[in-house]
């Protein structure tokens, strides 16, 4: 059984769209692709400078198993910034894009074929000198002169390229034509058997899955896919192909079949800007309606109310919640869902902390992107995370997720003032969902951001304790 590598280029392709993704959406898409267990996640060139570098730094700690590949033009002046961006990843890769058709060399590269060959060898060698895995993608390869393409592939491999990708940029090849094209390259450039041979099929003619099968039979072992990008092989199509015909074709892929369709649908929604909420999640986040409780309600009623909020508590935790509820209801005529949520966060599942807050720095304003740098202590050692976000709270929460190395669904976030005046103490409640279960945490601070951070950490500690992570 031959193992195929799946290199998803959604983040790379979407960067060139008219409605380019925001930082938060790109982070979420990366997390979803990592959950899907794709082998390689490709990102766009660092053309925006420091903001693109920051994005690569933000996703680097989020995965230890997938390759993070950063695209780079055939230009050595982009090398230092690209290396800086990707080198913190557990498995970094730089993907050099080299035009090889006559039209692209003339209008994109503004160089003669001989100069392009020299450039391919020089830039590839520079990347390999940095010790980073190197891929060379030949754009518009199917319209290149065959002899020149063979020379370019040989030059890249001789300079140290470990992955060679042939791109059907024009998207005009039929499956049998693509089979002949790949087979002839393998015949005339025997060196490709020593590297990973990859292909980027086009779906312009809506035949990318058939083209993928042809390439597979011709000896290709890595396929470029994307979600919600009409010009590329759909990831769902490749997943379906592996599921239905993988065994008969003698190939397998590491894709997460169980949650595959759900994850792909989530990414499509992110790309399209349709942030939908499942009915049961919506009901939970709204605290099950406008019901209220009073001192006359017994433990059974409190148990029902807690379930409405989405919690599953042990008998001991429910008993602790009920005792605190009795204390609150003796001083307050009616207890609201938000009150009960805070009680659960404060009294249920109290655990020894895995993480404690050391310090945090927040930068925000109406003319700058919010950024957060959070330092936590784990087993006495400092661990830090930083991120940008759609506000100071969002940036802070993303920073903590970077430290934890995983994403949690934020089911609810509340901030209330405990005292009055300018120096009022803020109380925060955070509800996180992990593996379908809700965990809540409460934090108190003299500022709302600090309260929110402490509440998030409290909920995170409960998850770590219960899941032993």
Which two structure tokens, joined as six digits, stand for 11? 């983040």
Cβ contacts of 304 within 8 Å, gap of 6 or more: none
Kindly state the average pLDDT of the residues 48-59. Answer: 88
Range with the poorest average pLDDT among 41-55, 63-77, 275-289: 275-289
Kindly state the average pLDDT of the residues 58-69. Answer: 93
Which two structure tokens, joined as six digits, stand for 257? 């079949």
Kindly state the average pLDDT of the residues 415-438. Answer: 72
- pTM over the 0.75 mark: no
Instruction: With a cut of 70, say whether residue 417 has pLDDT above it.
Output: no
Spatial contact of 210 and 240, defined as CB atoms under 8 Å apart: no
Distance in angstroms (rounded) separating the CA atoms of residues 228 and 212: 18
Q: Give residue for tokens 């025997």.
A: 190
Distance in angstroms (rounded) separating the CA atoms of residues 392 and 372: 7
Kindly state the average pLDDT of the residues 231-258. Answer: 92
Distance in angstroms (rounded) separating the CA atoms of residues 257 and 269: 19
pLDDT of residue 279: 37
Spatial contact of 456 and 397, defined as CB atoms under 8 Å apart: yes
Spatial contact of 99 and 116, defined as CB atoms under 8 Å apart: yes
Instruction: With a cut of 70, say whether residue 232 has pLDDT above it.
Output: yes
pLDDT higher at 177 or 15: 177
Instruction: With a cut of 70, say whether residue 402 has pLDDT above it.
Output: yes
Cβ contacts of 62 within 8 Å, gap of 6 or more: 27, 30, 31, 34, 401, 402, 405, 406, 407
Range with the poorest average pLDDT among 6-20, 44-58, 94-108, 422-436: 422-436
Distance in angstroms (rounded) separating the CA atoms of residues 279 and 192: 51
Distance in angstroms (rounded) separating the CA atoms of residues 455 and 331: 25
Instruction: With a cut of 50, say whether residue 303 has pLDDT above it.
Output: yes
Specify the pairing of strand 370-378 against strand 355-363. Answer: antiparallel
Q: Which among 1, 68, 4, 2 has a CA at the least distance from the CA of 235?
A: 4
pLDDT higher at 327 or 137: 137
Q: What is the 3-state secondary structure (H, E, C) of the chain?
A: CEECEEEECHHHHHCCCCCCCCHHHHHHHHHHHHHCCCCEEEECCCCCCHHHHHHHHHHHHHCCCCEEEEEEECCHHHHHHHHHHHCCCCCEEEEEEEECCHHHHHHHHCCCHHHHHHHHHHHHHHHHHCCCEEEEEEECHHHCCHHHHHHHHHHHHHCCCCEEEEECCCCCCCHHHHHHHHHHHHHHCHHHHHCEEEEECECCCCCHHHHHHHHHHHCCCEEEEECCCCCECEHHHHHHHHHHHHHHHCEECCCCCCCHHHHHHHHHHHHHCCCCCCHHHHHHHCCCCCCCECCCCCHHHHHHHHHHCCCCCCHHHHHHHHHHHHHHHCCCCCECHHHHHHHHHHHCCCCCCCEEEEEEEEECCCCCCEEEEEEEEECCEEEEEEEEECCHHHHHHHHHHHHHCCCCEEEEEEEEECCCCCCCCEEEEEEEEECCEEEEEEEEECCHHHHHHHHHHHHHHHHHHHHCC
pLDDT higher at 467 or 284: 467
pLDDT of residue 19: 55
Q: Where in the chain is the domain with CATH 3.30.160.270?
A: 355-467
Q: What top-level class would CATH report for the domain 2-272?
A: alpha beta
Distance in angstroms (rounded) separating the CA atoms of residues 44 and 52: 8
Spatial contact of 110 and 155, defined as CB atoms under 8 Å apart: no
- Taking the CA atoms of 357, 26, 264 and 200 in sequence, report the sign of the dihedral they define: negative
Q: Where in the chain is the domain with CATH 3.20.20.70?
A: 2-272
Instruction: With a cut of 80, say whether residue 380 has pLDDT above it.
Output: yes
Domain boundaries 355-467, corresponding CATH code: 3.30.160.270
Output the CA–CA distances (angstroms, integers) from residue 439 to 224, 320, 457, in the order listed: 38, 16, 11
Which two structure tokens, joined as six digits, stand for 253? 């892929």
pLDDT of residue 426: 67
pLDDT of residue 18: 52
pLDDT of residue 290: 58
pLDDT higher at 147 or 303: 147
What are the tens digits of pLDDT across the range 111-162?
899 999 999 999 999 999 999 999 999 999 999 999 999 999 999 999 999 9
Query: Do you know the residue count of the chain?
Result: 469
Angle (CA) 353-358-363 rounded to 5° is 125
Kindly state the average pLDDT of the residues 327-332. Answer: 80
Q: What are phi and psi of 97, to 5 degrees?
A: -100, 120
pLDDT of residue 49: 82
Which two structure tokens, joined as six digits, stand for 93? 């890769």
Mean pLDDT score of the chain: 87
Distance in angstroms (rounded) separating the CA atoms of residues 417 and 427: 6
Output the CA–CA distances (angstroms, integers) from residue 140 to 116, 170, 356, in the order listed: 14, 6, 52
């Amino acid at each position: 059984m031959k193992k195929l590598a799946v290199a998803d280029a959604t983040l790379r392709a979407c960067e060139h769209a008219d409605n380019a993704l925001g930082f938060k959406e790109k982070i979420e898409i990366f997390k979803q692709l990592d959950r899907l267990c794709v082998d390689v996640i490709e990102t766009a060139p660092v053309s925006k400078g420091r903001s693109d570098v920051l994005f690569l730094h933000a996703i680097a700690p989020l995965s230890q198993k997938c390759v993070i590949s950063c695209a780079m033009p055939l230009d050595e002046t982009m090398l230092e910034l690209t290396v800086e961006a990707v080198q913190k990843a557990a498995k970094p890769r730089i993907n050099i894009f080299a035009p090889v058709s006559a039209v692209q060399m003339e209008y994109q590269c503004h160089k003669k074929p001989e100069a392009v060959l020299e450039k391919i060898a020089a830039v590839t060698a520079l990347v390999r000198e940095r010790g980073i895995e190197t891929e060379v993608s030949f754009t518009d390869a199917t319209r290149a002169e065959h002899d020149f393409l063979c020379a370019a592939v040989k030059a890249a491999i001789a300079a140290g390229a470990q992955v060679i990708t042939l791109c059907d940029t024009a998207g005009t090849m039929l499956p049998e034509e693509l089979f002949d094209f790949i087979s002839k390259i393998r015949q005339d450039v025997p060196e490709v058997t020593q590297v990973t041979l990859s292909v980027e099929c086009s779906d312009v003619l809506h035949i990318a899955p058939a083209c993928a099968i042809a390439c597979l039979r011709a000896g290709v072992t890595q396929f470029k896919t994307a979600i919600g990008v009409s010009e590329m092989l759909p990831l769902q199509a490749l997943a379906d192909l592996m599921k239905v015909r993988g065994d008969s074709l003698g190939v397998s892929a590491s894709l997460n079949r169980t949650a595959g369709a759900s994850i792909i649908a989530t990414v499509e929604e992110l790309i399209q800007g349709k942030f939908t909420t499942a009915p049961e999640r919506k009901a939970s986040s709204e605290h099950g309606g406008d019901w209220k409780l009073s001192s006359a309600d017994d433990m059974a009623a409190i148990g029902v109310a807690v379930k409405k909020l989405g919690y599953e508590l042990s008998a001991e935790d429910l008993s602790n919640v009920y005792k605190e509820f009795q204390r609150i209801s003796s001083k307050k005529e009616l207890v609201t869902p938000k009150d009960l949520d805070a009680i659960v966060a404060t009294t249920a599942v109290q655990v020894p902390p895995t993480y404690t807050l050391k310090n945090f720095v927040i930068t925000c304003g109406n003319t700058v992107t919010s950024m957060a740098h959070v330092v936590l202590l784990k087993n006495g050692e400092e661990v830090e995370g930083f991120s940008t976000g759609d506000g100071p709270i969002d940036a802070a929460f993303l920073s903590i997720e970077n430290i934890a190395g995983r994403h949690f669904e934020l089911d609810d976030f509340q901030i209330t003032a405990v005292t009055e005046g300018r120096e009022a103490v803020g109380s925060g409640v955070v509800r996180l969902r992990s593996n379908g279960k809700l965990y809540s945490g409460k934090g108190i601070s003299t500022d709302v951001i600090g309260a929110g951070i402490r509440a998030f950490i409290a909920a995170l500690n409960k998850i770590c304790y219960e899941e032993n992570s």
